Amino acid sequence: MENTIYTYLTNYLPQSEIDKLKIEMDKPLKYKGLLINSKKISPSSMLEEFSSLEEDSTNLNFYTYLKDVDFPGRDILHTAGAYYILDRSSMLISKYLEPKARELVLDMCAAPGGKTISYALKNPGALIIANDFSLKRAAELSGNVERLGLPNVIVTNFEPSYFLKDFCGYFDKIILDAPCSGTGMFRKESKMKDDWSIEKMNKLLPLQDNLLDVAYKLLAKGGTLSYSTCSFMKEEDEDRVETFLSKYNDINLVKLPIEEGYFEGTLKGTIHIFPYLYRGEGHFLAQLTKSGNIPALETIEKPSDFDEDLNLYTFMYKSEKCALPFVLESVINLHALRMGLKITNTTKYAKCPFDHALSHYLSASKSIELTQEDAAKYLAGQELVCKENLPDGFYPVSFKKVNLGYVNKKCERLKNCYPKGLRIN
């Protein structure tokens, strides 16, 4: 099967490049990457935590590390949302999308969330609808957004065509990381290699075309569309973009710069990432724009709704108080798994009147700082002893100045309010 893939690539790649790619793909994965959440932790503090971190000069707050030396995914700071683990190639989209104040963004196939998270951190003034058709994957996405403390992300679980009902010509930016055959991920996920076939790849092509058609209808005039796959295959990459361009005469290809480590696609201005050239897994990226001028968004927030401490607008959503950078009526009418920042929790069995998500957004300066031992106990759901002279009530707790969640202080005890579904033994 593997030889079939490389033979197939000779249709559009020089044999010299295929030979280099094959050698690299047969090597074990050496590096992984992480994006620092600079709202929670400084790069200097992160460098003290993990010895093999290496700064990426081309991506702000992004670092690679040796996967056999450091294990940040097992660390308390990961649970606290101080950083997000993702492949370096996944940073490409946010790198080339230019931030714009008060823009509405749709990530059509967002889970597990790397592209949404990287752009949400880059542009906190944007409002991002992060959607995934799979409920299980959308739930994972929602958890990652909550852990990072991102108040500018709404998580939904729809078939992408659902948005055609109310959002045609509405989005300033659309991110489409399309379902694909995954040839670029074979080194990372060997099961995908065993499952690959030309027939399975060909079955995905109509789906990719359909998603691009939906994206066209949802994209505002003057808007930007990023199309990407984790595939090396021209049929899923350049061919889909060329087909898309042939359908719509108001769509224009942006010629992305071919920087060191990139391989220019057969369609000039598109980018392929090959692991022998770049410290990341296989990826393809094309950026396109729709002719015209972006219409202004009609917001409905009032000055009285602005919370100066949160620097967000608050509103009621399904009997709970939530907050966003700005409020659109069409957006808050969506059925969402996560509607920006949820502030209150009024459910019958709530242990705390504040939602757990709020703790990730607050400054740790007023939190009860825990030792590593107590932080581990807290994440396991255990009750703690209060070592500070404080009035009874609800408090955030933190580890290394990064908030973990809430406790309810009663006398000398700290009653644990960490959600059961998140607890770690």
- Whether the domain at 97-290 and the domain at 344-425 fall into the same CATH topology: no
Task: Please give the pLDDT value at position 418.
Answer: 94
> Nearest Cα to 159, choosing from 116, 216, 207?
207
Task: Please give the pLDDT value at position 3.
Answer: 64
Residue written as tokens 């969640």? 405
CB 367 within 8 A of CB 390: no
> Nearest Cα to 58, choosing from 95, 33, 94?
95
- Peptide linkage before 14 cis (omega within 30 of 0): no
> Nearest Cα to 178, choosing from 98, 284, 270, 76?
284
With residue 242 as reference, give the H or E element that holds it: helix 238-247
Q: What is the mean pLDDT of each run of 10 residues along the chain (425 residues)?
A: 76 87 89 95 94 94 96 95 96 94 96 96 97 96 94 98 96 97 84 82 96 98 97 94 97 95 93 93 96 92 93 96 96 96 93 94 90 96 92 96 96 94 83
Task: Please give the pLDDT value at position 2.
Answer: 59
CB 282 within 8 A of CB 123: no
DSSP 8-state secondary structure symbol assigned to residue 381? T
Q: Output the CATH code of domain 97-290.
A: 3.40.50.150
230 is catalytic: yes
Task: Please give the pLDDT value at position 1.
Answer: 57
Structure token pair of residue 44: 């200097």
Task: Please give the pLDDT value at position 348.
Answer: 87
For the domain made up of 344-425, the CATH class stated in words is: alpha beta
CB 362 within 8 A of CB 40: no
> Nearest Cα to 378, choosing from 403, 353, 355?
403
Task: Please give the pLDDT value at position 194.
Answer: 77
**Which backbone phi and psi does 112 adopt, to 5 degrees?**
-80, -5
In the chain, where the domains are located = 97-290, 344-425
Give the whole-angstrom CA distance, residue 211 versus residue 205: 10
- Tell me the sheet residues that pair with 107: 130, 175
Which residue in 109, 168, 180, 230 is the catalytic one? Answer: 230
Task: Please give the pLDDT value at position 215.
Answer: 98
